[in-house]
Amino acid sequence: MLIDQRNTFGFAGTRRTFCASAALMLVGCAATRPDPRAGAIVELGSTGTLRAAINLGNPILANRGADGAPRGVSVDLAREAARRLGLAVELVQFNSAGSVVDAVRARTVDLAFVAIDPVRAADMEYTAPYVIIEGAYLVRNDSPLRRNEDVDRAGTRIAVGRGSAYDLFLTREIKSATLVRAATSPAVTDLFLSQNLEVAAGVKQQLEADAKRVGDVRLLPGRFMVIEQAIGVPKGRTSAQAWLGGFIEEMKASGFVAASLQRHGIEGAALAPARTAT
């Protein structure tokens, strides 16, 4: 049987030409694919500085050091993100989560460290969480309340920080009890005491510190909610969200977040799991 060598060589040549063309197309696609870092720099550094909202009302995320300067895991992450983007960083300090969300909405900050909540999603884009913390209830030692499930009853008044993640959560979930809002999360326990309320609600670590400070109070066992802390950016800044999403996953996987929590003496906050690929 004879084989037409010309057809064979012609097919091989055509195949080589096709493969070379395909390779060039792939290179071209790679060259034109948007660079998330470049897009993030545009969206986060429009003023020449990365303006990071730091919530000093949540001691898990940030507090003041002996020199009065902000410190904590959110501060460390803000500085590292700015370093990687080649931007100067401005730490814009707030005393409540509600004020942080207002600043994101007004676009007077470029990113914020906030709890994920569906209400806030109307105004911001989130990364996956980097730490998970717990919301707890505080009562007086002589309170008849023993379980979290006992709280939602008519006549029970719960002090909460206005605009906080647990305020938003309890606003949706509480059916019979009444919410009484403090101006900031650190003011919750003092409001609870001064107005003789039945319950104070907040971040467990904040309430534990308050219990030591004021005495004659106790936390109910367990938690009433899990709070997922993430980075948020103003709505529509999807390039920034994409880059920060990858940044946060790297910071979790590399041990950066865990080391920061340990360095700042934060207990009770769990490292969030890696994002599941979709």
pLDDT at residue number 276: 65
C-alpha span between 192 and 160 (Å, rounded): 9
pLDDT for 95-140, tens place per residue? 988 899 999 999 999 999 999 988 888 899 999 999 998 999 999 9
How sure is the predictor about 12, in pLDDT bands with cuts at 50, 70 and 90?
very low
Q: What is the DSSP string of 207-242?
A: HHHHHHHH-SEEEPSS-SEEEEEEEEEETT-HHHHH
Q: Look at residues 91, 135, 83, 134 and name the one whose alpha carbon lies nearest to residue 113.
A: 91
CATH 3.40.190.10 placement within the chain: 36-130+230-271, 133-225
Summarised one tens digit per residue, pLDDT across range 190-210 is 999 999 999 999 989 889 999
Q: 0.75 exceeded by the pTM?
A: no
Which residues touch 28 (CB under 8 Å, ≥6 apart)? Answer: none
**Bridge partners for 50 per DSSP:** 89
d(CA 245, CA 240) in angstroms, rounded, equals 8
Longest distance between any two alpha carbons in the chain, whole Å: 103
Specify the CATH superfamily of domain 133-225: Periplasmic binding protein-like II (3.40.190.10)
Q: Per-residue DSSP letters for 145-199?
A: --SGGGSSSTT-EEEEETT-HHHHHHHHH-SSSEEEEESSGGGHHHHHHHTT-SE
93 Cβ contact list (under 8 Å, min separation 6): 54, 56, 70
Strands 131-140 and 178-182: unpaired
Which of 27-31, 82-86, 94-98, 235-239 shows the lowest per-residue confidence on average (mean pLDDT)? 27-31
- Assign residue 80 a region (left: φ > 0; alpha: ψ between -120 and 50; beta: otherwise): alpha
Mean pLDDT for the stretch of residues 232-238? 95
CATH for 36-130+230-271 (3.30.1050.10, 3.40.190.10, 3.40.50.300, 3.20.19.10) = 3.40.190.10
